[in-house]
Amino acid sequence: MSEPSGPAPARTAVPLLAPVDGLPEVVDSPRMVADAAARLAAGTGPLAVDAERASGFRYSNRAYLLQFRRAGAGTVLVDPIPVADELGPLAEAINPLEWVLHSADQDLPGLAELGLRPAALYDTELAGRLAGFDRVGLAAIVERMLGLELTKGHGAADWSSRPLPESWLNYAALDVEVLVELRDAMAAELESQGKTDWATQEFEHIRLAGPPKPKPDRWRRTSQIHSLKSPRQLAAVRELWQTRDEIASRRDIAPGRVLPDSAIVAAASADPKSIDALRSLPVFGGPRQRRSSRVWLQALERARALPDSQLPPLTQPFTGPPPANRWARKFPEAAERLSSARTQMTSLSERVHVPVENLLTPDLVRRLCWDFTPADHPRSDPDGLLTFVEATLRDGGARSWQRELTAPVLARALGGS
């Protein structure tokens, strides 16, 4: 297995300022969808795909602009909002194709909501990780592999706003301008490193994974929540957070734009008993929040009315192993296994030039070390130990290339060798 190619030779990257075919008209009618679908269907080779969302502005993960490019068809920009129910011809044309995306897991859920799902996938961001690149952003990889400079600047914009400025559309079109060319360059790089099969397995895993499952007790992710010291205060955070989430979902507004986390924690700490007391706190006295004072005060009243038995515990309940930072004191043998496993995984990562987290998820390594019972897998039975490790990794969703690489080193770590 060869090492990653070094950085591109020192040279001035050529700025990519405008689409080579000019900026296309945005598709926003059923007739235009049909025409675009026919054009893409008549093209050849893989399809470059991107989608712009309004993260930080909207509650939903929906796509507000779709970008496609295929050899022989050029670039297509689609505004999905007015034609969301008219995308059948587009799906028929592009769903059977291989899609090329950068950081595909970010865009696939929103595209799937529109009935758009690839038959095959190539993720240039993940390809960069598997290739051992230290920088895997689209602009960085394009510059390294193609010698082109992508000007960034509108990725964090509110793509739900209308009309979309021409500069934004130009930026969006450029994101798919060289994506297929980048795919070919990355495929050659991975082939030279002997990692083509690894990438194929990873791309298929992402294609079939679906959206991530919501994590339990998401309200515990509120910023600064650790400054609160009582279950009653946590109950107030939970009530305020859930109220905010309902409002944000109903209005399709990012929760932080309804009420910032800092205001939730401040209210939970101060526990105001009246509207005037609530409005004396930061944020709540502003003109936008004053209209919702009764809503927030009622959430706090619900928290105060809860019996002690319904208050949340100070620490988040967990299933499976406890947090690893508690192992050394209470479970020293498990902590020693985890330390050895991490050392082995780091060495393997350096040897194959793949980040540790792409070799195996850290959670799977922790669970393996926690569930391992030395009495059931003695050092005198290395084959049985290897079988146990392989089965655990398989049950945890590890792909075959990951199991082949990591099972032997993890078995050695668990066996103390």
CATH code where residue 367 lies: 1.10.150.80
**Has residue 68 got a pLDDT over 60?**
yes
Specify whether 354 is located in the same domain as 407. yes
Residue 149 has a CB neighbour count (10 Å cut-off) of: 15
The whole-number pLDDT of residue 301 equals: 98
Domain-embedded: residue 315: no
pLDDT tens, position by position, 307-327? 999 999 998 777 778 889 889
**Has residue 144 got a pLDDT over 80?**
yes
Distances in Å between the Cα of 36 and the Cα atoms of 28, 33, 209, 216, 352 are 11, 5, 28, 42, 43
More confidently predicted of 52 and 12:
52
- Whether 76 contacts 33, CB under 8 Å: no
The whole-number pLDDT of residue 283 equals: 95
The whole-number pLDDT of residue 288 equals: 87
Specify whether 127 is located in the same domain as 189. yes
pTM of the model: 0.91
Residues in the chain: 417
**Mean of per-residue pLDDT scores for the chain:** 94
The whole-number pLDDT of residue 7 equals: 57
Domain-embedded: residue 111: yes
Its domain, for residue 35, covers 14-209
H runs (alpha helix) in 252-361:
255-258, 261-270, 275-279, 287-290, 293-305, 327-330, 332-352, 356-359
Specify whether 292 is located in the same domain as 332. no
* Mean pLDDT along residues 278-302: 95
Peptide bond into 163 cis (omega under 30): yes
* Mean pLDDT along residues 216-243: 96
The whole-number pLDDT of residue 317 equals: 73
Domain-embedded: residue 316: no
The whole-number pLDDT of residue 211 equals: 82
Per the structure, the count of domains in the chain is 3
Specify whether 247 is located in the same domain as 196. no
Specify whether 279 is located in the same domain as 344. no
Specify whether 19 is located in the same domain as 131. yes
Specify whether 68 is located in the same domain as 200. yes
Specify whether 115 is located in the same domain as 193. yes
* Mean pLDDT along residues 235-255: 97
Specify whether 33 is located in the same domain as 155. yes
The whole-number pLDDT of residue 10 equals: 52
pLDDT tens, position by position, 363-414? 999 999 999 988 777 777 888 899 999 999 999 999 999 999 999 999 999 9
Specify whether 341 is located in the same domain as 381. yes
Specify whether 105 is located in the same domain as 201. yes
At 242, list the tokens.
């859930």
H runs (alpha helix) in 147-217:
166-177, 179-193, 196-209
State the DSSP string of 22-42: -PPPPB-SHHHHHHHHHHHHT
By CB neighbour count within 10 A (0-12 exposed, 13-18 middle, 19+ buried), where does 193 fall? Answer: buried
Question: Among 178, 209, 240, where does a domain finish?
Answer: 209
The whole-number pLDDT of residue 351 equals: 97
Specify whether 48 is located in the same domain as 72. yes
Domain-embedded: residue 2: no
pLDDT tens, position by position, 327-366? 999 999 999 999 999 999 999 999 999 999 999 999 999 9
- Whether 300 contacts 272, CB under 8 Å: yes
- Whether 341 contacts 361, CB under 8 Å: no
